[in-house]
Chains A and B, each alone.
Chain A
Amino acid sequence: MTIKLRGVMQSPVTPLKSDFSPDLPTFERLLDFHVRSGSPAISWPHHKGESLNLTIAERKRLAEAAVKVVAKRVPVTIHVSALAVEDTMELARHAQEIGADGILAITPYFWKPSREAIFDYFVRICTSIDLPVISYNSPSYLAGVEITGELMSRLIERLPNFVGVKEASFNSEKFIELSRVALKLRPTFAMLTGVEYLLPSVPLGGVGSYSAAGSICPNLCNSLFDACVAGDWPRARELQYKLSRLWLLFRDQYPSSLKGGMVIMGRPVGPTRAPLPTATPERQAFIRAQLEALGILDSEPHGW
């Protein structure tokens, strides 16, 4: 029941055909690209993978494909968060059945659950399967609903398979409230962050992140992690500033703009499902100019 979580772990977008149906062959090619370009783990479908715009049946079908294509070269975790908690439970069981290495689950959407309700929710998920569970904290997207240090300590004490957190508040105080409590109780606990915010988190015990821009610039992601663990802060700063500019570029209409950028990099993955827009040719031209200015076109792989 162990899983190694370290480095900038990629979460693929979900390629769609022009009729907005899932494009399975391109999805398989993208998974392979991420593994070959050095991702230490794969996690799908994050919000950037349009998880909430896929049906439960589609999520299961593509999760199976992910496990099969990656074929144990690196660990695969499945993001099981859904609007209905019953669907989350179903996706968690399914992830275990198909041989995934772990799951990721955010605090429940929409309802603004109390701290006790969040506790019960994670207990229910973690006790329903044997897989390692990574929690996901994103208070700015969920109206302040969050995992506090106190809640974190109770979850770790109660649940042996509660192994990590994707801490996506991007806030010094919130990160350290979780890291100092979690790492004391469970030294192997994986403190992860979102996007690629490694520079402010690795010095506090962070061991990695998920990734926004990894389908555009895997080399930059991996170099930033290396610089941070080596304590080469001047270099880490430059790399983090560059990745931050990319995040500002893609954060606008995320992940539509990311899919637009992938066209530029020779890895087209089709449109984005509504209510998200699809990047227009004008938007793509703007993204190309930005990528060129940042030197991404010369330093990162083109095509599959």
Chain B
Amino acid sequence: MAGDRLAGLVHAPVTPFTRAGRVDFEVYGRLIEFHLRHGADALALPMHAGESVSLTETERRALIEHAVKQVRGRVPVVVHVSDAGTGIAAAHARHAEAVGAAAIVATTPYYWTPPPAMVLEHFAQIAAAVKIPFLVHNAPEEMAGTRITAELALRLMERAANFAGVVDSSLDWQFMIELVDTARGTRPTFRLLSGVEYLVSAGAIGAKGALSSLAALAPTAVRRLHGLCAEDQLFEARGVQEEIAALLQLLKGSGAAGLKAALHALGRDCGDVRPPLRPLGEVERGALVERLEAFAMLRAEPRGW
């Protein structure tokens, strides 16, 4: 997989569940087709928005195999391999490569809040398990403050030839600028991708792509925002960025549950979230739908599949 194939808009699908709480493979297939028809340059799955940590080992592998088969090489599939244990994450990585993933992505280890040396070792071992490109996901807010630094990224480059880029959800300008500036001297193909749909600042700094879970809901707007940023039309991107920011704020408190409720409202029912997440209650759901209807931007988005 050429490095520049990672440089586009990467959709991160949710994981549909049946009423009985099983992975709904039929709907998943439909969802993947929806993403491919609506602007995905690649897919990343199952990310946290896809409730990766709530899947069993068996389910996770079945889901990935199903997705790769469904996609049939039309776009690259980036597989999320994060885990608490380094050996377990490395095993996820090997499985992903064996079944045809184009790249893997991993966060810092769950729970341990490890110091930088442990984070480096964790990533180095995951990277060494495969030959395909490896992306690191920097998500300090989700990972109890554990973060990647530019220095750590540089040291990982020395250890891992396949360390291809960072997906950033820290939204931290100081980090992103330092990373892009220092990485380019060492590894010119290195990529910064946005992990949340705040693309204007990241694009100005030099991000070359984005992971988007919101694309399930508003694929047209996300595509437009990504396209403008990719062409350095940053002033022009401000309007759609502000609308997307407002949508992100609306969904912020409720996470995957809110996203699934919103998808249901737009006619793309992917079921409910799994415990320990709780689906929105009737009142919350009603309030969310009402506020979604007030978004002019969503009127231009596809309804149903």
Contacts and interface: CB of A to CB of B under 8 A. Distances in A.
Chains A and B belong together in one complex: yes
17 contacts: A149-B249, A170-B172, A175-B201, A177-B249, A180-B242, A180-B245, A199-B205, A200-B173, A200-B204, A201-B201, A202-B204, A237-B204, A240-B177, A240-B205, A241-B177, A241-B181, A247-B174
Given A176-B245, A180-B242, A204-B238, A244 B174 contact: yes
Interface in B197-244: 198, 200-202, 204-206, 232, 234-235, 237-238, 241-242
A204 B177 contact: no
B180 A203 contact: no
Interface of chain A, helix or strand or loop or mixed? helix
B196 interface: yes
Highest count of chain B CB atoms <10 Å: which of A175, A180, A200:
A200
B181 A172 contact: no
Interface of B: 171-174, 176-178, 180-181, 196, 198, 200-202, 204-206, 232, 234-235, 237-238, 241-242, 245-246, 248-249
A231 B234 contact: yes
List the 7 shortest-distance A-B pairs measured between CB atoms, nearest first: A200-B201, A203-B234, A172-B198, A172-B201, A241-B181, A172-B171, A180-B242
B200 A203 contact: yes
A175 B196 CA distance: 14
Contacts of B249: 149, 177
Nearest to B196: A173
A174 B245 CA distance: 10
Contact of A203 (B176, B204, B245): B204
B242 to A, nearest CB: 4
Contacts of B235: 203, 231
A163 interface: no
A158 interface: no
A2 interface: no
A233 B176 CA distance: 16
A233 B205 CA distance: 9
A205 B238 contact: yes
A96 B202 CA distance: 40
B181 A244 contact: yes
Nearest to B181: A241
Interface string A223-262: 0000000010110110011001101100000000000000
